[in-house]
Amino acid sequence: MKKAQIIVIGNGMVGYKFCEKLKSKSESFDLIVFGEECRRAYDRVHLSEYFNGKTAEDLSLSTATWYEEQNITLFLSNPIVKIDRDFKMVYAADGLSYAYDYLVFATGSAAFVPTIPGVEKDGVFVYRTIEDLELISEFAKKAKTGAVIGGGLLGLEAAKALIDLGIEQTHIIEFAPRLMPRQIDPAGSEMLKSKLADLGLKIHLNKNTTSIEGEEKIIAMQFSDDTKLEVDMLVISAGIKPRDELAKACGIEVGPRGGILVNEKMQTNDPSVFAIGECALYDGMIYGLIAPGYEMAEVLAANLCEGNKEFTGFDMSTKLKLIGIDVASFGDNFIDEPDCRTIIFENKHKGIYSRINVSNDGQHLLGGILIGDATAYNMLLQTVNNKIVLPENPEELIFGSRSGGDGVEGAGIVSLPDSALICSCEGVSKGDICGAVTNLNCENLDDIKKCTKAGTGCGGCIPMVKDLMVHTFKSQGKYIKNVICEHFNYSRQELFDLIHIHELKSYDEVLNEFGKNDGCEVCKPLVSSLLASLWNEMILKKGNDVAQDSNDRFLANIQKGGSYSVVPRVPGGEITPDKLIIIGEVAKKYNLYTKITGGQRIDMFGAHLNDLPVIWEELIAAGFESGHAYGKGLRTVKSCVGSTWCRFGLHDSVSYAIRIEERYRGIRAPHKFKSAVSGCIRECAEAQSKDFGIIATEKGWNLYVCGNGGSKPQHALLLATDLDSETCIKYIDRFLMFYIRTADPLTRTATWLNKMEGGIDYLRNVVINDSLGMAAQWEQEIENLISSYKCEWKEAVENPAIRKRFSHFVNAPEEKDPTIEFVDMRGQKRVAEWKTV
Amino acid sequence: MTETSNWLAACRVEDAVENGGVCVKNGEEQIALFYFKRRNEWFATQNECPHRKQMALSRGMIGSTTDEPKVACPFHKKTFSLHTGECLSGDECGAIKTYPVKIDNGVVYIGKYPK
């Protein structure tokens, strides 16, 4: 039997979701999709991330081959231009025509451009597609000031884009007396406005633009109150208008203010024609959010597969982060007294505004608004949607979230019914998520995402999904042991002791003795790290090379494109002019990009795998050694110049930093670790941001531990004061061994301490008072590691078997990878961007 | 076409990396060859990881999940089945091509056409 043919007009997010949903339900349709844009459907919700370095491909919703794999015919840059409903035919821009049994409009919307004289001028843009973004970003290079018309959700997104593009002064022009008029109330708007102003945005409310001035290019905006604003560019983001022109032209009914009229089955006045997403008008409303669009796709897909689903409107609650500020509204956000009782909390100092609307009998939550801190959003939304009876003091719902909210949030989850919708993008309920844990044995977030799709849309529900997962574990009495992976039923610490006691030296021996099957990319680097921490043998010997992580495997950091970077050790950041010249010469000879690192050394990028041994041969001959920038071990010991030159310096911080760096170089640990030595309290070496940091005092050295830069900065804590040089090193020895033995895999010292019961006091007791009685053993162990240190690059270049592995092609050892591409930038090379399809 | 012309002589058995991969040049194409000694099996796949289009799979770690042999790309640890080429990381990277491998007289041959 011939399959029924469905034609989808539009390849946006909702059109794509419809294809995905339909294909997952049935194979009995032929699906043809026509897209107007030149790209496959992409994530328009996160469009502004395009300016933060995400590529068009990153934003794409599917892989290049997905449509083909699903047997869907996809036409891009080929819009439908005409529809003949009598013959059930569509005509595409390329001149060809196709017959349909069912026709689906997923044409979305276009930016609404008000009729202001001058909107056609150069420098005036809309904010809708990747093409728009490309035009904006090109133009922004020569612009200093910019404005956005529209203070709604999309307008604020566009303003963020202008900030990201380096526009020095960005203005927001809003016709209404407040920002985000559909989501937040006047008081919330005031709070948001002052937070945005702190970020340098100029907000103009009650402003009506009457004309755009300039010859060919915009130079200023004229307003109805006779004021004027000079700008170099303008982005119009004043709302959307449904793309219903094609439907209208073929006699499909549309609403008086636009939008294709549909019933609860998404059906138009022609029974074989449907509309979904932002082009559809249901019950007098256009749904401009992603979750209702997906729901429409689901309803239509189900009904075409002989299901019986209805679209009956959708909760328009939203939570988003605008330029780093939480903004959320839920339920009936604008209902006011006397129809309800409102509870408002405002903290101007922290920029937090919370409003909840409670029913007059105090029983139920009706809706609310959150600005500045929306951590309570999920729970509040659930409380509204599931009509959960409020506690005696409903204000705790918003105050509770400030103090971590564990009690309120935790208790809240339990009281939710199984039908509570947790992920509204994918329509996943609490019951689905708990069921995935209980019946499908999901043990982590990824499993749950795979099984239920929860959290794969906007991602806002992920914290709640995690809480539900943990709660379900607990209720099952399931003990989650921190085992390494499916191959080793031990924790890292257990395996450390086992390898130690049994004196195992290679990954294969460890797997044979204590593991099962073939290992994987999780346990291999972990075991390799343990072996290195215990025995400090050359990491590429005894078959351990193939058990090393990417960087350790080739003793260099793999970079975008597949080239490597080279970092020689420069202890304490002290280097002679001759050695600087050598680095320059080597970099020149092998055409490497050079950059000073944050750890006071020099990184050389863009080395071919084949060149690594010869580069190192030259560096070693000049007296350099491996900097272990690729390893989970000691990186650098940064120093200020100290008392040898500095008029404030108390001690010789450089000499001490060199001594420490040379003492711990090459020692491998659960994660990388860094150190610094400052010669006085001015702290120029930034020692308090390091895993261990040392600061000179009048009487000796102060030792700080467990600091961290990176994504979650944390100051180091003072472990001991006024130490002499020897004692300070003794304490560091003990501290490091304790860390190496007990930390979880890939855990920095800061996190390790955060998880430690008793915290810094306990740690101090272990290190200084030897409360575990381990100090002597640890000092001996670290002595063994220090005395067995060898430069592993020296060993590598001198060993022909290891050296042989530094070639790209096994059958053409002299040839380098021809696919690595470099481009020019500021007189040096840089690697070409991630390739897109 | 004869039987022999469908096979590319890639390298000698001792040139391959035990429990790891090497990259084989086949004209313009790059093929990753894995000698899974632990399972006494050979596998060949495209060298390019479909996630970020990097020529890198031959430098990845191999292993197994349940009993499925797999390789993890060194860039972002996307994993692929060595049997079927299917992406096992659950995020729709797309599958990779896999090729037949045979050993004859100490020489490793890779089929020129994907399985």
The model's pLDDT over A685-729, given as tens digits with 9 standing for 90+, comes to: 999 999 999 999 999 999 999 999 877 788 999 999 999 999 999
Tell me the CA distances in angstroms from A692 to A654, A671, A678, A685, B81, one per residue in order.
16, 14, 12, 12, 42
Contact B52 A835 (CB under 8 A): yes
Strands (E), A539-679: 557-558, 564-566, 593-596, 602-607, 634-639, 673-678
pLDDT of residue B2: 44
* Exposure of A480 in the CB half-sphere (CA atoms within 13 A): 13
**Residues 6+ positions from A460 with CB-CB distance below 8 Å:** A319, A377, A378
What is the rounded CA–CA span in Å between residue A303 and residue A22?
A: 10
Residue A332 DSSP code: S
Contact A521 B63 (CB under 8 A): yes
pLDDT of residue A291: 86
CATH code, domain with B87: 2.102.10.10
What is the rounded CA–CA span in Å between residue A837 and residue A416?
A: 44
pLDDT of residue A402: 36
What's the rounded mean pLDDT across residues A460-469? Answer: 79
Contact A558 B65 (CB under 8 A): no
What is the end-to-end Cα distance of chain A in Å, rounded? Answer: 36
Q: Please check if A434 is assigned to a binding site.
A: no
What is the rounded CA–CA span in Å between residue A759 and residue A771?
A: 14
Q: Searching chain B, which residue's CA lies closest to the CA of residue A544?
A: B19
pLDDT of residue A1: 60
The size of the A-B interface in CB pairs under 8 A is: 107
Q: In this structure, are strands B101-104 and A421-423 parallel, antiparallel, or unpaired?
A: unpaired
Nearest-CA distance from B31 to chain A in Å?
Answer: 9
B18: amino acid identity, one letter: E
B19 contacts in chain A (CB < 8 Å):
508, 543, 546-547
What is the rounded CA–CA span in Å between residue A763 and residue A777?
A: 17
pLDDT of residue A298: 93
Angle at A158 between CA A153 and CA A161, to 5 degrees: 130
Crossing angle of helices A445-452 and A462-475, in 10° steps, is 110
What is the rounded CA–CA span in Å between residue B19 and residue B16?
A: 9
Which of B25, B50, B53 has the CB atom closest to A809's CB atom? B25
A786: amino acid identity, one letter: I
**Residue B105 in contact with partner chain A when CB distance is under 8 A:** no
CA A30 and chain centroid, separation: 37
What's the rounded mean pLDDT across residues A335-355? Answer: 88
Domain count across chain B:
1
Mutate to test the interface with B, among A445, A541, A746, A809 (most CBs of B within 10 A): A809
Mutate to test the interface with A, among B59, B79, B81, B93 (most CBs of A within 10 A): B59
What's the rounded mean pLDDT across residues B8-20? Answer: 95
Q: In this structure, are strands A233-236 and A145-149 parallel, antiparallel, or unpaired?
A: parallel
Which of A66, A518, A817 has the CB atom closest to B92's CB atom? A66
What is the rounded CA–CA span in Å between residue A541 and residue A575?
A: 32
B43 contacts in chain A (CB < 8 Å):
none
Contact B23 A810 (CB under 8 A): yes
B107 contacts in chain A (CB < 8 Å):
none
Residue-number span of the structural domain to which B44 is assigned: 4-111
Confidence of residue A480 (pLDDT cuts 50, 70, 90): low
Contact A518 B38 (CB under 8 A): yes
Q: Please tell me the least confidently modeled range out of A138-152, A439-453, A734-748.
A: A439-453
Nearest-CA distance from B69 to chain A in Å?
Answer: 8
**Residue A336 in contact with partner chain B when CB distance is under 8 A:** no
Over residues A773-823, the pLDDT tens digits come to 999 999 999 999 999 999 999 999 999 999 999 999 999 999 999 999 899
What's the rounded mean pLDDT across residues A262-273? Answer: 96
Contact B55 A562 (CB under 8 A): yes
Contact B64 A450 (CB under 8 A): no
Tell me the CA distances in angstroms from A459 to A46, A229, A317, A370, A633, one per residue in order.
11, 39, 15, 18, 34
CB A616 within 8 A of CB A564: no
Over residues A104-148, the pLDDT tens digits come to 999 999 999 988 999 999 999 998 888 898 899 899 999 999 999
The structure tokens 């909760």 sit at A315
Q: Which residues 50-79 of chain A have a CB within 8 Å of chain B?
A: 62-66, 69
Residue B4 DSSP code: G
Q: Please tell me the least confidently modeled range out of A29-43, A403-417, A552-566, A746-760.
A: A403-417
| Torsion sign, CA atoms A186, A191, A196, A197 | positive
Angle at B113 between CA B108 and CA B115, to 5 degrees: 90
What's the rounded mean pLDDT across residues B3-10? Answer: 80
Over residues A634-685, the pLDDT tens digits come to 999 999 999 999 999 999 999 999 999 999 999 999 999 999 999 999 999 9
Confidence of residue A445 (pLDDT cuts 50, 70, 90): confident
Nearest-CA distance from B93 to chain A in Å?
Answer: 6
Which of A558, A820, A836 has the CB atom closest to B74's CB atom? A558
3 state DSSP class of A586: helix
B38 has a pLDDT exceeding 80? yes
Domains and CATH numbers, chain A: 4-110+242-304 (3.50.50.60), 113-238 (3.50.50.60), 634-787 (3.30.413.10)
Tell me the CA distances in angstroms from A105 to A268, A531, B113, one per residue in order.
10, 61, 42
Q: Please check if A680 is assigned to a binding site.
A: yes
Confidence of residue A403 (pLDDT cuts 50, 70, 90): very low
In the numeric block, which tokens belong to residue A289? 């959010």
Q: Please check if A520 is assigned to a binding site.
A: no
What's the rounded mean pLDDT across residues A355-369? Answer: 91
**DSSP string spanning A222-240?**
EETTS-EEE-SEEEE-S-E
In the numeric block, which tokens belong to residue A804? 């042989």
A587 has a pLDDT exceeding 60? yes
**Residue A521 in contact with partner chain B when CB distance is under 8 A:** yes
CB A630 within 8 A of CB A553: no
Which of B10, B61, B92 has the CB atom closest to A63's CB atom? B92
What is the rounded CA–CA span in Å between residue A252 and residue A90?
A: 14
A521 contacts in chain B (CB < 8 Å):
60-61, 63, 72, 77, 79
**Residues 6+ positions from A430 with CB-CB distance below 8 Å:** A413, A416, A417, A418, A419, A420, A422, A468
Q: What is the 3-state secondary structure (H, E, C) of A121-182?
A: CECEEECCCHHHHHHHHHHHCCCCEEEEECCCHHHHHHHHHHHHCCCCEEEEECCCCCCCCC
Q: How confident is the prediction for chain A on average, in pLDDT?
A: 90
What's the rounded mean pLDDT across residues A419-429? Answer: 83
Q: Searching chain B, which residue's CA lies closest to the CA of residue A814?
A: B25
Contact B25 A812 (CB under 8 A): yes
CA A591 and chain centroid, separation: 33
* Exposure of A85 in the CB half-sphere (CA atoms within 13 A): 16
pLDDT of residue A629: 96
A12 has a pLDDT exceeding 90? yes
**Residues 6+ positions from A113 with CB-CB distance below 8 Å:** A119, A126, A236, A238
pLDDT of residue A411: 46
Contact A834 B60 (CB under 8 A): no
Which of A487, A518, A545 has the CB atom closest to B39's CB atom? A518
Over residues A799-809, the pLDDT tens digits come to 999 999 999 99
Confidence of residue A43 (pLDDT cuts 50, 70, 90): confident
In the numeric block, which tokens belong to residue A101? 């049994």
In the numeric block, which tokens belong to residue A254? 């549309």
pLDDT of residue A192: 93
The structure tokens 């409310």 sit at A205
A458 has a pLDDT exceeding 90? no
Q: Which residues 25-84 of chain B have a CB within 8 Å of chain A?
A: 25, 30, 33, 36, 38-39, 50, 52-56, 59-67, 69-70, 72, 74-75, 77, 79
Crossing angle of helices A130-140 and A153-164, in 10° steps, is 40
pLDDT of residue A401: 39
**Residue B93 in contact with partner chain A when CB distance is under 8 A:** yes
CB A403 within 8 A of CB A395: no
B31 contacts in chain A (CB < 8 Å):
none
pLDDT of residue A584: 97
Nearest to A383 by CA among A394, A370, A393, A374: A394
pLDDT of residue B4: 54
Backbone φ and ψ for A335, nearest 5 degrees, come out as -55, 140
Peptide bond into A338 cis (omega under 30): yes
Contact A449 B90 (CB under 8 A): yes
Nearest-CA distance from A526 to chain B in Å?
Answer: 13
Contact B67 A66 (CB under 8 A): no
pLDDT of residue A406: 38
Confidence of residue A232 (pLDDT cuts 50, 70, 90): very high
Nearest-CA distance from B36 to chain A in Å?
Answer: 9
What is the rounded CA–CA span in Å between residue A634 and residue A781?
A: 17
Q: Which residues pair with A7 in a beta bridge?
A: A32, A103
What's the rounded mean pLDDT across residues A391-395? Answer: 79
B56 contacts in chain A (CB < 8 Å):
558, 562
**If residue A365 lies in a helix (H) or strand (E), which one and from where to where?**
strand A365-371
Nearest-CA distance from A738 to chain B in Å?
Answer: 29
Contact A486 B65 (CB under 8 A): yes
pLDDT of residue A479: 58
Contact B63 A835 (CB under 8 A): no
What's the rounded mean pLDDT across residues A244-264? Answer: 94
B93 contacts in chain A (CB < 8 Å):
63
Q: Please check if A442 is assigned to a binding site.
A: no
**Residues 6+ positions from A415 with CB-CB distance below 8 Å:** A388
Which of A63, A449, A521 has the CB atom closest to B79's CB atom? A521
Q: Searching chain B, which residue's CA lies closest to the CA of residue A456?
A: B91
CB A331 within 8 A of CB A368: yes
What is the rounded CA–CA span in Å between residue A817 and residue A606?
A: 12
pLDDT of residue A409: 38
**Residue B19 in contact with partner chain A when CB distance is under 8 A:** yes
Q: Please tell me the least confidently modeled range out of A332-346, A383-397, B60-74.
A: A383-397
Contact B19 A486 (CB under 8 A): no
What is the rounded CA–CA span in Å between residue A16 and residue A43?
A: 10
pLDDT of residue A407: 37
CA gyration radius for chain A?
Answer: 31
